[in-house]
């Protein structure tokens, strides 16, 4: 039961979530992933397209939308995946998705865009004004900024994690270039020392960085950084403990408590948190309003994050053991109270493109 006074906030929007449907349902599915979202205070999530098959064709999009419709507990929207094999589908996909996701450098199966000609075709084909989100690490951030400038196209840089990257983005913004960016809680609250402690459970892309990088991100929290997104990327314990452990960590249920703790410590204001986790994500991706939707948090609730009681199918968190302050108590979604005193009381099914 909540003991403190409750504070009402807008439903949060997480613009970077891997819900694993289709093809990775043993890691997460629409039901478990969106339950984790609601428990974490997110009433809207944007799902990433690196599924199997990838979300790069209209046929796959329609099948996934139907599954989300049947099982999702919060509003789910989708990114189109830029695949060299299906570039002709982009104009159609653009009509039913919130943005295009390009994997610019690392190898992520069929969605890797490895050469300049294909990158240019993506920018030439995707409608101007609808964001292109890029997984770009290190030097590839400069490629994203260059393309934004050349094509006058809005580019959103995902999970910025290094001091050099955030400095470059700040410079691009100072020139008025149409770029936005997000950072994740794991890059704000963990360092490479945690990666050593956590082993595969602290491995993701981009990798955890130095404390100087973390400090640089915090120095830009009120200025250059537009959004906080989780990059919720669940993998099973068995996968993490096996050979070739896949990178990625879950984050939906821990992001808000971590950020509210930072508010309690005076590292950012509650108003700024709401901008980073609700207003800016909705504005950048043009997300629909959610009437009669809010969350209530107990800002005084002090507890330790734990693997116990998580809704994500993977059942673990890299943040377990960390002391936090701030807890989601109630969630109202489209007029229905669905989460009360930390428990699901009503299952509504909500989704849009
Ligand atoms: O660590 C990561 N995991 N980074 C990515 O970009 C992909 C993600 C995943 O899908 O597991
Ligand atoms: Zn990524
Ligand atoms: Zn991701």
How far is Cα 222 from Cα 171, in angstroms, rounded to an integer? Answer: 15
Cβ atoms of 228 and 183 within 8 Å: the answer is yes
Domain ranges of the chain: 2-344
How far is Cα 344 from Cα 339, in angstroms, rounded to an integer? Answer: 4
Query: In this predicted structure, what is the pLDDT of residue 115?
Result: 87
Across 105-206, the runs of DSSP E, i.e. the strands, are 132-135, 155-157, 179-183
| Most ligand 1 atoms within 8 A of CB, residue of 195, 204, 240 to mutate | 204
Looking at the CA of residue 247, tell me the nearest atom of ligand 1: 1
Tell me which residue of 62, 17, 66 sits closest to 38, measured CA to CA.
17
pLDDT tens sequence across 28-68:
999 999 999 999 999 999 999 999 999 999 999 999 999 99
Quick check: pTM over 0.85?
yes
Question: 3-state DSSP call for residue 302?
Answer: strand
How confident is residue 4, by pLDDT bands cut at 50, 70 and 90?
low
Say how many Å lie between the CA of residue 248 and the centre of ligand 2.
9
φ, ψ for residue 187, nearest 5 deg: -80, -15
| Most ligand 1 atoms within 8 A of CB, residue of 15, 18, 106 to mutate | 18
Query: In this predicted structure, what is the pLDDT of residue 2?
Result: 46
Q: Where does residue 109 fall: left (phi above 0), alpha (psi -120 to 50 degrees), or beta otherwise?
A: left
Complete DSSP assignment for 222-266: TTT--EE---B----HHHHHSTTPPP----TTTHHHHHHHHHHTT
Hey, whose CA ends up nearest to atom 2 of ligand 1? 248
Tell me which residue of 273, 263, 236, 261 sits closest to 322, measured CA to CA.
261
How far is Cα 208 from Cα 196, in angstroms, rounded to an integer? Answer: 10
Query: In this predicted structure, what is the pLDDT of residue 106?
Result: 65
CB atoms within 10 A of CB 247: 16
Report residues whose beta carbon is within 6 angstroms of any ligand 1 atom.
18, 50, 135, 204-205, 233, 246-248
CA-to-CA dists, residue 153 to 64, 145, 190, angstroms: 27, 10, 32
How far is Cα 225 from Cα 91, in angstroms, rounded to an integer? Answer: 29
339 forms beta bridges with: 331, 344
Query: In this predicted structure, what is the pLDDT of residue 1?
Result: 47
pLDDT tens sequence across 68-114:
999 999 999 999 999 988 999 999 999 999 999 999 876 666 788 87
Looking at the CA of residue 106, tell me the nearest atom of ligand 1: 6
Domain 2-344, CATH: 3.20.20.140
How far is Cα 151 from Cα 149, in angstroms, rounded to an integer? Answer: 6
Say how many Å lie between the CA of residue 160 and the centre of ligand 1.
13
- Residue in the structure block whose two tokens are 């969350």: 295
- What's 338's DSSP letter? E
**Complete edge-to-edge strand list for the sheet that includes strand 42-47:** 12-17, 42-47, 75-81, 99-103, 132-135, 155-157, 179-183, 227-228
Say how many Å lie between the CA of residue 1 and the centre of ligand 3.
34
Query: In this predicted structure, what is the pLDDT of residue 113?
Result: 84
pLDDT tens sequence across 146-178:
999 999 999 999 999 999 999 999 999 999 999
pLDDT tens sequence across 266-321:
999 999 999 999 999 999 999 999 999 999 999 999 999 999 999 999 999 999 99
pLDDT tens sequence across 107-152:
666 788 878 999 999 999 999 989 999 998 999 999 999 999 999 9
Query: In this predicted structure, what is the pLDDT of residue 110?
Result: 73
How confident is residue 352, by pLDDT bands cut at 50, 70 and 90?
very low
């Amino acid at each position: 039961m909540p003991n403190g006074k409750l504070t009402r906030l807008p439903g949060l929007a997480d613009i970077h979530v891997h819900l694993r449907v289709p093809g990775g349902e043993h890691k997460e599915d629409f039901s478990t992933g969106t339950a984790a979202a609601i428990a974490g205070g997110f009433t809207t999530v944007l799902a990433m397209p690196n599924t199997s098959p990838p979300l790069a064709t209209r046929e796959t999009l329609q099948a996934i939308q139907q599954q989300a419709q049947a099982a999702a507990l919060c509003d789910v929207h989708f990114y189109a995946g830029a695949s060299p094999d299906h570039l002709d589908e982009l104009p159609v996909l653009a009509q039913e998705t919130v943005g295009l996701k390009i994997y610019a450098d690392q190898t992520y199966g069929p969605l890797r865009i490895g050469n300049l000609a294909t990158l240019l075709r993506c920018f030439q084909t995707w409608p101007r004004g609808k964001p292109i989100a890029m997984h770009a690490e290190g030097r590839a951030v400069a490629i994203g900024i260059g393309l934004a400038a050349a094509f006058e196209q809005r580019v959103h840089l995902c999970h910025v994690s290094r001091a050099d990257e955030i400095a470059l983005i700040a410079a691009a913004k100072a020139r008025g270039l149409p770029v936005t960016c997000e950072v994740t809680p794991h890059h704000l609250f963990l360092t490479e020392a945690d990666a050593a402690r956590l082993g595969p459970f602290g491995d993701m892309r981009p990798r955890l960085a130095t404390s100087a990088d973390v400090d640089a991100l915090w120095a830009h929290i009120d200025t250059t950084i537009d959004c906080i997104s989780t990059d919720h990327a669940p993998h099973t314990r068995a996968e993490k403990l096996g050979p070739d452990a896949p990178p990625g960590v879950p984050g939906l249920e821990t992001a808000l408590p971590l950020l509210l703790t930072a508010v309690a410590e005076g590292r950012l204001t509650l108003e700024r948190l709401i901008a980073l986790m609700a207003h800016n994500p909705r504005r950048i991706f043009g997300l629909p309003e959610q009437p009669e939707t809010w969350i209530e948090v107990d800002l005084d609730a002090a507890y330790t994050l734990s693997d116990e009681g998580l809704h994500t199918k993977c059942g673990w968190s890299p943040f377990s053991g960390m002391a936090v302050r701030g807890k989601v108590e109630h969630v109202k979604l489209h007029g229905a109270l669905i989460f009360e005193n930390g428990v699901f009381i009503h299952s509504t099914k909500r989704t849009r493109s």
